[in-house]
Amino acid sequence: MKDVPPLAASVKTLQEAVQLSLKDGLNSDCLFIFARAIKAFEITHDRRLPLAELQAAFAQWWNAAKPHLPPDAEFDEWRFDFEDTFAKTHAPLGSNSLEDTTRLAQRLGAVSNLFAGRRRARADLVACAAVVL
Protein backbone atom coordinates (compact mmCIF):
# COMPACT_ATOMS: atom_id res chain seq x y z
CA MET A 1 0.00 0.00 0.00
CA LYS A 2 1.19 3.49 -0.80
CA ASP A 3 0.78 6.60 1.31
CA VAL A 4 -2.73 7.91 0.86
CA PRO A 5 -2.99 11.54 -0.17
CA PRO A 6 -4.88 13.78 2.23
CA LEU A 7 -7.69 13.98 -0.31
CA ALA A 8 -9.08 10.58 0.74
CA ALA A 9 -9.56 8.45 3.81
CA SER A 10 -7.47 5.30 4.12
CA VAL A 11 -9.76 2.30 3.66
CA LYS A 12 -7.66 -0.84 3.98
CA THR A 13 -10.27 -3.58 3.43
CA LEU A 14 -13.59 -4.02 1.70
CA GLN A 15 -15.05 -5.10 5.03
CA GLU A 16 -13.98 -1.73 6.44
CA ALA A 17 -15.81 -0.02 3.53
CA VAL A 18 -18.93 -2.00 4.43
CA GLN A 19 -18.66 -1.06 8.11
CA LEU A 20 -18.14 2.64 7.31
CA SER A 21 -21.24 2.70 5.14
CA LEU A 22 -23.45 1.07 7.76
CA LYS A 23 -22.04 2.65 10.92
CA ASP A 24 -25.11 4.92 11.22
CA GLY A 25 -27.47 2.12 10.24
CA LEU A 26 -29.37 1.76 7.00
CA ASN A 27 -30.24 5.20 5.65
CA SER A 28 -30.68 7.02 2.34
CA ASP A 29 -26.94 7.73 2.06
CA CYS A 30 -25.51 4.31 2.89
CA LEU A 31 -24.97 3.19 -0.73
CA PHE A 32 -23.39 6.56 -1.56
CA ILE A 33 -21.10 6.28 1.47
CA PHE A 34 -20.26 2.70 0.45
CA ALA A 35 -19.40 3.88 -3.08
CA ARG A 36 -17.16 6.64 -1.65
CA ALA A 37 -15.52 4.14 0.71
CA ILE A 38 -14.81 1.82 -2.24
CA LYS A 39 -13.27 4.77 -4.14
CA ALA A 40 -11.06 5.44 -1.08
CA PHE A 41 -10.15 1.73 -0.98
CA GLU A 42 -9.08 1.97 -4.62
CA ILE A 43 -6.89 4.99 -3.85
CA THR A 44 -5.41 3.29 -0.79
CA HIS A 45 -4.44 0.26 -2.88
CA ASP A 46 -3.66 2.22 -6.06
CA ARG A 47 -5.89 0.08 -8.26
CA ARG A 48 -9.42 0.05 -9.60
CA LEU A 49 -11.65 -2.86 -8.72
CA PRO A 50 -12.71 -4.97 -11.70
CA LEU A 51 -16.47 -5.48 -12.05
CA ALA A 52 -16.36 -8.98 -10.51
CA GLU A 53 -14.61 -7.66 -7.37
CA LEU A 54 -16.98 -4.70 -7.19
CA GLN A 55 -19.93 -7.09 -7.29
CA ALA A 56 -18.29 -9.27 -4.62
CA ALA A 57 -17.84 -6.15 -2.47
CA PHE A 58 -21.53 -5.38 -2.89
CA ALA A 59 -22.38 -8.94 -1.85
CA GLN A 60 -20.45 -8.31 1.40
CA TRP A 61 -22.43 -5.09 1.90
CA TRP A 62 -25.71 -6.92 1.19
CA ASN A 63 -24.96 -9.63 3.75
CA ALA A 64 -24.16 -7.04 6.41
CA ALA A 65 -27.17 -4.85 5.55
CA LYS A 66 -29.69 -7.68 5.06
CA PRO A 67 -31.00 -7.69 8.65
CA HIS A 68 -31.84 -3.98 8.29
CA LEU A 69 -33.37 -4.15 4.81
CA PRO A 70 -37.11 -4.48 4.21
CA PRO A 71 -38.22 -8.14 3.97
CA ASP A 72 -39.10 -7.72 0.28
CA ALA A 73 -35.73 -6.16 -0.68
CA GLU A 74 -34.32 -7.67 -3.85
CA PHE A 75 -30.58 -8.23 -4.23
CA ASP A 76 -30.43 -7.29 -7.93
CA GLU A 77 -32.44 -4.10 -7.46
CA TRP A 78 -30.08 -2.92 -4.71
CA ARG A 79 -27.02 -4.05 -6.69
CA PHE A 80 -28.12 -2.07 -9.75
CA ASP A 81 -28.74 0.96 -7.53
CA PHE A 82 -25.25 0.57 -6.04
CA GLU A 83 -23.60 0.16 -9.45
CA ASP A 84 -25.36 3.30 -10.70
CA THR A 85 -24.35 5.21 -7.58
CA PHE A 86 -20.75 3.99 -7.86
CA ALA A 87 -20.55 5.07 -11.53
CA LYS A 88 -21.75 8.57 -10.60
CA THR A 89 -19.52 8.93 -7.53
CA HIS A 90 -16.33 10.88 -8.11
CA ALA A 91 -15.14 11.84 -4.65
CA PRO A 92 -13.65 9.18 -2.38
CA LEU A 93 -14.63 9.02 1.27
CA GLY A 94 -12.73 11.63 3.25
CA SER A 95 -12.42 14.17 0.47
CA ASN A 96 -13.94 17.61 0.80
CA SER A 97 -14.06 19.56 -2.46
CA LEU A 98 -14.66 22.94 -0.80
CA GLU A 99 -11.80 22.43 1.64
CA ASP A 100 -9.50 21.20 -1.17
CA THR A 101 -10.34 24.22 -3.33
CA THR A 102 -9.73 26.60 -0.43
CA ARG A 103 -6.36 24.97 0.27
CA LEU A 104 -5.40 25.27 -3.41
CA ALA A 105 -6.48 28.91 -3.52
CA GLN A 106 -4.32 29.66 -0.46
CA ARG A 107 -1.31 28.01 -2.12
CA LEU A 108 -1.93 29.93 -5.33
CA GLY A 109 -2.21 33.14 -3.31
CA ALA A 110 1.20 32.47 -1.75
CA VAL A 111 2.71 31.85 -5.19
CA SER A 112 1.00 34.99 -6.50
CA ASN A 113 2.77 37.05 -3.83
CA LEU A 114 6.08 35.92 -5.29
CA PHE A 115 5.10 37.70 -8.49
CA ALA A 116 3.94 40.91 -6.83
CA GLY A 117 4.57 43.83 -9.17
CA ARG A 118 4.83 41.57 -12.19
CA ARG A 119 1.43 42.15 -13.72
CA ARG A 120 1.72 39.70 -16.65
CA ALA A 121 3.00 36.84 -14.48
CA ARG A 122 0.11 37.36 -12.06
CA ALA A 123 -2.39 37.36 -14.93
CA ASP A 124 -0.91 34.07 -16.18
CA LEU A 125 -1.16 32.61 -12.69
CA VAL A 126 -4.80 33.64 -12.38
CA ALA A 127 -5.54 32.07 -15.77
CA CYS A 128 -3.90 28.83 -14.65
CA ALA A 129 -5.89 28.84 -11.42
CA ALA A 130 -9.13 29.29 -13.37
CA VAL A 131 -8.31 26.21 -15.43
CA VAL A 132 -7.46 24.14 -12.32
CA LEU A 133 -10.55 25.20 -10.40
pLDDT digits (tens, 9 = 90+) for 50-103: 999 999 999 999 999 999 999 999 999 999 999 999 999 998 988 666 665 666
Q: How many domains does the chain have?
A: 2
CA angle (86 as vertex; 82, 91 as ends), nearest 5: 140
Burial status of residue 28 (CB atoms within 10 A of its CB: 0-12, 13-18, 19 or more): exposed
To 10 degrees, what angle do helices 30-45 and 51-65 make?
140
Within this chain, do residues 20 and 57 fall inside the same structural domain, yes or no? yes
- Full-model pTM: 0.69
Give the model's confidence band at 132: pLDDT under 50 very low, under 70 low, under 90 confident, else very high: low
106 and 69 part of one domain: no
- Residue 67 and residue 30 in one domain: yes
> Is there a single domain that holds both residue 83 and residue 20?
yes
Alpha helices, DSSP H, located in the chain: 14-22, 30-45, 51-65, 75-88, 97-114, 119-132
Residue 8 included in any domain: no
26-44 confidence digits (pLDDT tens): 999 999 999 999 999 999 9
- If asked whether residues 78 and 114 sit together in one domain, one would say no
